[in-house]
Chain A
Amino acid sequence: MSLDRSDELVAPTSSAASGAVADSAVADSAVAAVGRVSLWRRLARDRFALVGAVVAVAYALVALAAPLITRALGVDPYTYDLDALGPTGAPAGPLGGISAEHWFGVEPLTGRDLFAIVVMGSRTSLLVGLGATVVSMLVGTVLGLVAGYFGGWVDWVVARLVDVLIGLPALVFMIAVGAVAPEWFPRLLLLVLVIGLFGWSSIARVVRGQVMALRASGFVRASQALGASHAHVLFRQVLPNLASTVVVFATISIPGAIGSEAALSFLGVGVPPPTPSWGRSIGDAVTWFSVDPVYLLFPGLALFGVTLAFNAFGDGLRDALDPRGGGSNRRRRRGGAR
C-alpha cells in the first residue's frame, strides 16, 4: 500500500490468493529447512540484493552522520541565503544554483542549501520508515500470535480488525488524522504511529498462519504439558521460530513506510516545515519545476534510491529464505504511490 499506491497509499494490501501462497511458502519451507550458512551463500550470489543492502547501509550511515556531514561542509538546512537567488526567487545561476558552496543548488524563495536538506532529510525518512515498521511489526506479530495460538473468538476479533483496517482508505485516514491531531502532538511521532498502525495486517496474517502450524508441534505440546504459561509458550517457545519471517517482512515493509511519509509530506500533510523531508521538497518543487527542475531531481533521486535499495535487499532476502518461490509471491506494501 501499499500508502499505494493506491490509493493510493492505500492499497489494500491483502490479496486472497497471494497471501495464502506466502503463508505456506514462508511458513513451512524456509526457516526450518534452510541453514544459516546456505542462506548467506544464496544471498551473496544475488548481486542485485547485495547492492541493495550496501546502498541501504550507506543511507543509514548518512542519516546517522548527517549533522556531522553538514557541519563539516559548513551548510545547514535552515539558514536562508537570499544572495543565492535571482530576482524571481528562483536560484541564481544555471542548474538550480549549483556551486562550490551549494553542491545541489539551493531551494527557491529561501536559498537554503539543498544538499543539507537532502542529507538531513534522510533522517526524517529513515526515522519514520523504521519507526513505523517497528510499530507495524510489534502490533502485527502480537495480534498474529494470539490469533493463531488461541483461535476461537480471539481469532475472530483479530480477523474483524483486519477487515476494518483493509476497509479503511489508509491515505484518506492518515490525512484526516493529521488534520485532527492537536498542535502539541509531535508530528514525526504521529506519522510513525499512523503509518505503523495501518501497516500490520499482512504480518499479522502470516504470523497467524505460522503459529497455527506450530501450535500442533511437539515442542509446544511438551511445553504446555510441563505447565508453562501461555505467555511463556508464546513468547519464549513460538516467537523465536518466527524471527526470520518477521525480519523479512520488516525489510519489505520499510520502503512502503518511507514512501508513505514522503507521500503525505508531498501532499502537505506530513512533516511540517522547516524539518527537511524529501517528500515535501518534491511537493514544493511542483510549482518550480518548469524553471528549476534540479530542485525536483535531488530529493526525488534520494527517495527513489532508498526505496529501491530496501526493495532489492528485501526481495533477495525473501528469495534466499524461500528458495522454492521463483520470485515474489506476495505483494509488497507500496509507498503512496499512485
Chain B
Amino acid sequence: MTLVKFLATRLATLVFVLLTVSFLTYALFVLLPADPAQLACGRPCTPERLETARAFMGLDRSVVEQWWEFVRGVFTGRTFGSAGASIDCPRPCLGYSFARNAPVTELIAGRFGVTASLAIGAAVLWLVVGVGAGAVAAVRRGTALDRGLMIGAITGVSAPSYLVGLLGILLFGFTLDMVPVSGYVPFAQSPVDWAWHLVLPWSVLALLSAAVYTRLTRSQMLEELGSPYVRTARAKGITERRVVTRHALRNAAIPVVTLFALDLGALLGGTVITERVFSMPGVGALLMEAVGATDVPLLVGVTVFTAAIVVIANLAVDVVYGVLDPRVRRGGRTR
C-alpha cells in the first residue's frame, strides 16, 4: 500500500468513527427522560409554548435530522430560532446549552486549559519516571531492584487513582500542609501558583500511569537486549551504556510512544476522576455537571469532543507508525 493510500484509509476511518460516535451519542441522549424544551419553557408551560421551545431548539425533528444538523453545525455554525429571537452558535458549533445560555464549544474552551495542564504535566512526568524505571529494571534483570520495581509497578497499576489522590491530599495537604488540596490557578495569572496547585494531581496521575510504562518498557527492553543487533553492537566493543541508551532503548521506545500518544489523547478528553478528587474545573468536571443537570446538548457536545480527541490521537499514532515503519502499511491494520 502506498503511503498516500494508507493515509487516506486511516482518514476515512477517522471520519467514519466520528460520525458513528456522534450518532450513537445522539441516539442515546434522545432517550433521556429530561426534555430540554420542558426545562426552558417556563411556567405556566402551555402546550403552545412548549411547541415553540421545541421548534426553537430543533427538537421537533427526527433524531437523524437533529444529528445531521449537529454535524453540519460543526462545520458551518448554526442559528437556533428565526430572525428576531435567534441565538447564534458560530462554528465549530458543538451544540448550544440552553440551560447555561452558551455555545458548548465556548464552555469546553473555557475548561480545556485546566484539563490540558493536568494531562500534559502528568504525561511528561510519567513518561520520564516510567521509561526510566522500566529501562533500569530490564538492565538489572533478576536482581532485587528489578523485582522491587516490578512489584511496585503492579501495585501502582492496581491502586485506584482517586484513592491515591485522596491519601495524597490527606498526607501532603492536611497533615503536612505543603500543597494546596484543590482548585486551579490559570498559568497566565501566576505560573508559580499554577504549578503549585498542580503538583499533587500531576504526581498522582503520573504515579499510576508510570507503572504501566515501567512494565511495557521493561518487557520491550528485554526483547531488544536479547536481539542479534545488540549482540553485534556489544561485539563491536561499544560501551554497555551506549548499547543500552542508543540501541536498545531507542527501539524499545516505539511501542511506548504509541501508548503514550493514546493515553495523552484519552486524558486530554477529560480527566473526570482526577478533576473530581482535586476539585478542578476541567472538561471532566464540565461533563459531570452536565450529567447532574441533565443538560443534554452539553452532554452530547462534551462526549463528541472527547471522542474526537481520542480518535485523532489514534490516527496520529497510526500515521506516525505508518510513516516510520513500512511493514505497518503493508499489513494494513496494526491493532
Chain A residues close to B by CB (< 8 Å) = 4-12, 14-21, 48, 159-160, 162-164, 166-169, 171-173, 175-177, 179-180, 182, 205, 255, 259, 262-263, 266-267, 269, 279, 282-283, 285-286, 289-290, 293, 296, 300, 303-304, 307-308, 311-312, 315, 325-329, 331-332, 334-338
Query: Which B residues are CB-close (under 8 A) to A315?
Result: 154
If A21-B223, A255-B158 are given as contacts, then 4 extra A-B residue pairs at C-beta distance below 8 Å, sorted by A number, are: A8-B267, A172-B302, A311-B157, A331-B259
Query: Which B residues are CB-close (under 8 A) to A167?
Result: 17-18, 20-21, 307, 310-311, 314
B97 at the interface (CB under 8 A from A): no
B163 at the interface (CB under 8 A from A): yes
Query: Which A residues are CB-close (under 8 A) to B36?
Result: none
B281 at the interface (CB under 8 A from A): no
A164 to B310, CA, bound (A): 11
Main secondary structure of the interface of B (DSSP, over half): helix
B219 at the interface (CB under 8 A from A): yes
Query: Which A residues are CB-close (under 8 A) to B205?
Result: 338
- State the Cβ distance, A193 to closest chain B Cβ, in Å: 14
- State the Cβ distance, B315 to closest chain A Cβ, in Å: 10
Among B60-68, B79-87, B207-215, the one that faces the other chain is B207-215
Are the CB atoms of B303 and A172 closer together than 8 Å? Answer: yes
CB < 8 Å neighbour of A173 from B13, B166, B303, B317: B303
Are the CB atoms of B216 and A18 closer together than 8 Å? Answer: yes
Query: Which one of B258, B273, B310 has the highest number of Cβ atoms from chain A below 10 Å of its Cβ?
Result: B273
Query: Which B residues are CB-close (under 8 A) to A326?
Result: 138, 141, 218-219, 222-223
Are the CB atoms of B28 and A163 closer together than 8 Å? Answer: no
- Would you mind naming 14 contact pairs between A and B with Cβ atoms under 8 Å apart? A5-B263, A14-B262, A15-B255, A15-B262, A18-B259, A168-B21, A172-B270, A173-B303, A308-B155, A311-B154, A311-B158, A325-B219, A327-B215, A327-B222
B186-204 vs A, CB cutoff 8 Å, 1 = contact: the mask equals 0000000000000000000
Are the CB atoms of A171 and B29 closer together than 8 Å? Answer: no
CB < 8 Å neighbour of A307 from B24, B158, B333: B158
Given contacts A17-B255, A259-B160, A282-B166, contact A8 B266 (CB under 8 A): yes
Query: Which B residues are CB-close (under 8 A) to A289?
Result: 166, 169-170
Given contacts A169-B306, A293-B170, A337-B161, contact A180 B271 (CB under 8 A): no
Are the CB atoms of A19 and B272 closer together than 8 Å? Answer: no
Q: List 7 A-B pairs, minimum CB-CB distance, nearest first.
A: A17-B255, A16-B334, A326-B222, A308-B158, A6-B266, A169-B306, A307-B158
Are the CB atoms of B155 and A176 closer together than 8 Å? Answer: no
- State the Cβ distance, B257 to closest chain A Cβ, in Å: 9
Query: Which B residues are CB-close (under 8 A) to A9?
Result: 272-273
Given contacts A160-B16, A311-B154, contact A296 B28 (CB under 8 A): no
Query: Which A residues are CB-close (under 8 A) to B157?
Result: 311, 332, 334
Query: Which A residues are CB-close (under 8 A) to B328?
Result: 16
Are the CB atoms of B174 and A327 closer together than 8 Å? Answer: no
A306 to B291, CA, bound (A): 30
Are the CB atoms of B160 and A168 closer together than 8 Å? Answer: no
A259 to B321, CA, bound (A): 31
Given contacts A18-B259, A338-B267, contact A163 B16 (CB under 8 A): yes
Interface residue range, chain B: 35 or more
B254 at the interface (CB under 8 A from A): yes
A267 to B276, CA, bound (A): 8
Are the CB atoms of A164 and B291 closer together than 8 Å? Answer: no
A300 to B165, CA, bound (A): 12
Are the CB atoms of B25 and A164 closer together than 8 Å? Answer: no
B277 at the interface (CB under 8 A from A): yes
Query: Which A residues are CB-close (under 8 A) to B254?
Result: 17
Given contacts A11-B262, A169-B269, contact A19 B335 (CB under 8 A): yes
A12 to B258, CA, bound (A): 11
A193 to B277, CA, bound (A): 27
Query: Which B residues are CB-close (under 8 A) to A19?
Result: 334-335
Query: Which one of A180, A293, A332 has the highest number of Cβ atoms from chain B below 10 Å of its Cβ?
Result: A180
Are the CB atoms of B162 and A164 closer together than 8 Å? Answer: no
Are the CB atoms of B277 and A176 closer together than 8 Å? Answer: no
A248 to B317, CA, bound (A): 28
Query: Which B residues are CB-close (under 8 A) to A12?
Result: 262, 265-266, 310, 313-314
Are the CB atoms of B160 and A307 closer together than 8 Å? Answer: yes
- State the Cβ distance, A167 to closest chain B Cβ, in Å: 4
Query: Which A residues are CB-close (under 8 A) to B317?
Result: 16
A326 to B311, CA, bound (A): 31
Residue of B nearest to A18 (CB): B255
- State the Cβ distance, B215 to closest chain A Cβ, in Å: 5
Residue of B nearest to A183 (CB): B33
B3 at the interface (CB under 8 A from A): no
Residue of B nearest to A201 (CB): B335
- State the Cβ distance, A190 to closest chain B Cβ, in Å: 13
Residue of A nearest to B226 (CB): A326
Are the CB atoms of A172 and B266 closer together than 8 Å? Answer: no
